[in-house]
Structure 1
Amino acid sequence: MKKIIHFTGMQSFKFGSLERYFLHLIQQCSDEGYKTILQYETMPSSQSYLDELKKSGAEVMVFPTYGNPWRMFINCLSCLREIKANIVHTHFTGRNAKLVIPIIARMCGTRRIICMVHNKPPYQKKNIARFAYNLYHHVLPVSKSVESSLLTGGVKPDILNAHYLGLFGEKVRSKEDRVLFRKKFSIPGEAVVLICISFDAPFKGVDILVEAFQILYSKHKNIYLLSVGVDVGESRLPALATELGISDRVRWAGIVDEGWKTLSAADIYVQPSRSEEGLPLAIMEAMAMKLPIVCTNISGNVEAVADGKNGLICKPTKEDLAAAIEKMILRPDSWREMGEAGKGRFLELFDGKKSVEDLIGRYYL
């Protein structure tokens, strides 16, 4: 059987939209006669995700591609020699692995070697990383902004093509779920709820959102902030909310499977990216659920959100984010129209089925 290996370079802590994308990709590849192997840095945490992977016939391999370069080289060499993959597809692998994997793959006779770039590299001129990228047959940035940065860094234009990811399944906000989640997180029914789905990393900017919320806290007594995806046991953000005196109106859902479902509790989605974002799947989820969006003007955010149409765009500072959120709060009559515009834009740009079909048809076969 023909084989595809994805070097994810990931630690997967939930069953989210990226995991769902992998599952649909695995199924479509199976229909084309390919078996899929997924490399992870650690075993995925979600048992539901692991169960679905087992049903799909995919195999999971666990070994690190970060850390000790020599160990990484041996791991990748052993893996590719054993699997003899027809297609190698990398994702979040580190710099050393990004260079080593295509070299080994070529030595092993791999037919197609693909690098998907999920985050925006901060290239201002030609960068030494171009030598690694240019070893691939295809380099697929997940947004046009990432594509532009890679071009600046010296990646060859003829191997570079922006490729949007997408979502699967109907995503609809319901009154029942709105009541259910608000009750679960002790949020009053009449409150205006801001929501953000993101893990805690500097480039995600969730700390900016927490500080922006403090600016609004005393002016708007009926607003609440619901955070989904932050590891409350490891993150300092809950402590920051306490220090700022706003913890009574901030709710931490933690890391949960299918976190998009909590969007039913919200009125406004906020994406506070500080830097490096490719194009967050959470923005797509909010668009699919017809939520108006406030986001920062970072990378792919502005490809998803049309300022004034399906959301508001601002600079990544607490002052600017607070001002944009307040502007949205004070315009409740625009929320429905913006939500409808976002849904239309989502259907046009981020259909998961089309994304997977294009990926396989243009770059795998």
Structure 2
Amino acid sequence: MHILTVRSTLPDMGPGTQPLVIARELRSRGDTVSFATSGGAYTDTVRAADFPVHIIPELAPDRHRLGAVVRAVAALRRLIVAENPDVIHGHNAAATILAVTAARLAGKRIPAVTSVRGVEERDTHQWRNKIWKRTPGVLLAVCEKTRDRLLSFGVPDDRISVTYNGVDLARFQPESVDGAVQRQALGLTGKIVVGTTGAFTGSPAQGGPSKGQHILVKAVAQLKDRHPDLAVLLVGDGKTRSMVEDLARDLGCADRVVFAGRRFDVPEMLSAMDIYCLASISGEFFPNSIIEAMSMGLPWVGSDIAGLSELTADGEAGQVTPIGDVAALAANLDRLAGDADLRASRGARARNEVEQRLSIEHVCDRIVSAYLQAGVPENIARETSPHVI
């Protein structure tokens, strides 16, 4: 099976990295995968993984004027004629629409799916969500909450498949990394470490970093007397980092907050943590960071956003708290910080949850099923994924 993966850009963050994780798994089954994109920070990584990458500058989201759209469709038409893919897998709606339009102009009716990792949440921009009902093919929702949102936009239920995001468990193996070495390098030896990974996005005007690093620092500041050995590890960088650094100083806990900066050795950074926290205040549906942390056997606490509640039952692997509720977050961290057995049991359940449901193998099985739902012939899918038929 030949999959043409299309995305407007390939950023080096969750939405841009997941297509490569999927492509690697499909290739391991014998499928061929190629990419079409305008570029982005992750493009060289995709090329280094030996996937063909076709650069079409007009796919960039800021170039959707009529002339750019015409040029993008023309370039995609040439690519589709040359490659003759069995399925178009878009990773944003506009890219899928352009690719399907190009295919039809080439006289081909190629099945299409689109991974939906987020929708427009701002009340003033809800008109943008009309695009989902018009996006051709099957929509791959990353969680049940995403499915519910798509249904609310008028997308028929039979055009939605919940596939979730997946993680490569071969990369995230708790026993393969020495956490003590990482702690020593970060100056965290002997500490109970609660950490998070992700860019410092957002702005003070929007209430602070969208991933809630400031909420985590406030919660830990409330616990500094009860847990003098509790420390924070913040992995990432961005424009609101200085805001959080100032906050830590103002709250008198700067000495227990480590800013590691932007890192790509994510398993190593996670190995230095005892607890994972994602206190996001906006912009999340089903974050890769949580399932990566779960893969490393970490218990977690997170904001009750989108699909996080689908990752745990009755607090078995993690705990959700109301968005922006510092006291509730502090209470959950207090319990975990003071109970090593609880951390171990929740961490083991977290790893098991990923193994049973969220490994990239399981996720790609659901994706291949969605390809069939979209119209890929069974005999083509059977060649590389016979167990899905």
In the superposition, the TM-score normalised over structure 2's length comes to: 0.79
* Cα shift at 1:17: 6.2
- Partners of 2:14 and 2:117 in 1: CA distance: 18
Residues 111/19 of structure 1: CA separation in 2 closer, same or farther (3 Å cut): closer
- Partners of 1:156 and 1:242 in 2: CA distance: 51
Residues 106/234 of structure 1: CA separation in 2 closer, same or farther (3 Å cut): farther
Question: Structure 2 matches for 1:1-365, cutoff 5 A?
Answer: 4-12=4-12, 18=18, 20-25=20-25, 27-28=27-28, 31-32=30-31, 34-44=32-42, 49-50=45-46, 52-54=48-50, 57-61=51-55, 63=57, 64-70=59-65, 72-84=68-80, 86=85, 87-92=87-92, 100=98, 102-108=100-106, 109-122=108-121, 129-170=129-170, 171-174=172-175, 177-187=178-188, 189-202=189-202, 203-231=210-238, 236-317=243-324, 318-363=326-371, 365=376
* Cα shift at 1:21: 0.9
Tell me the equivalent position of 2:383. Answer: none
- Partners of 2:187 and 2:146 in 1: CA distance: 39
In the superposition, the TM-score normalised over structure 1's length comes to: 0.84
Residues 295/183 of structure 1: CA separation in 2 closer, same or farther (3 Å cut): same
- Partners of 2:34 and 2:190 in 1: CA distance: 47
- Partners of 2:119 and 2:28 in 1: CA distance: 28
Unpaired runs of at least 5, structure 2: 203-209, 377-389
3-state SS in 2 of match to 1:225: strand
Residues 115/123 of structure 1: CA separation in 2 closer, same or farther (3 Å cut): farther
Q: Deviations over 1:45-85 (max 9, x none)?
A: 7x6x245323xx42252635222421652453233122116
User: Which AA in structure 2 matches 1:37?
Assistant: F
Given that 1:13 and 1:255 are in contact with CA atoms closer than 8 Å, whether structure 2 keeps it comes out as: no
User: Which AA in structure 2 matches 1:166?
Assistant: G
Residues 230/19 of structure 1: CA separation in 2 closer, same or farther (3 Å cut): farther
* Cα shift at 1:321: 1.6
Given that 2:38 and 2:56 are in contact with CA atoms closer than 8 Å, whether structure 1 keeps it comes out as: yes
* Cα shift at 1:284: 1.1
Given that 2:198 and 2:236 are in contact with CA atoms closer than 8 Å, whether structure 1 keeps it comes out as: yes
Q: Deviations over 1:16-62 (max 9, x none)?
A: 96365144145247x23x341241542427x6x245323xx422526
Q: Deviations over 1:204-230 (max 9, x none)?
A: 222322332332334422111111233
- Partners of 2:159 and 2:73 in 1: CA distance: 24
Q: Deviations over 1:135-183 (max 9, x none)?
A: 3111111111111111112112121111122112333334962121111
3-state SS in 2 of match to 1:224: strand
Query: After the TM superposition, which of the residue ranges 258-267 and 215-224 deviates more from structure 2?
Result: 215-224
User: Which AA in structure 2 matches 1:324?
Assistant: N
Query: After the TM superposition, which of the residue ranges 153-162 and 170-179 deviates more from structure 2?
Result: 170-179
Given that 1:9 and 1:91 are in contact with CA atoms closer than 8 Å, whether structure 2 keeps it comes out as: no
Residues 175/23 of structure 1: CA separation in 2 closer, same or farther (3 Å cut): closer
Residues 52/356 of structure 1: CA separation in 2 closer, same or farther (3 Å cut): farther
Aligned Cα RMSD in Å? 3.2
Give % identity.
21
Higher helix share: 2
User: Which AA in structure 1 matches 2:366?
Assistant: D
User: Which AA in structure 2 matches 1:356?
Assistant: C
Tell me the equivalent position of 2:380. Answer: none
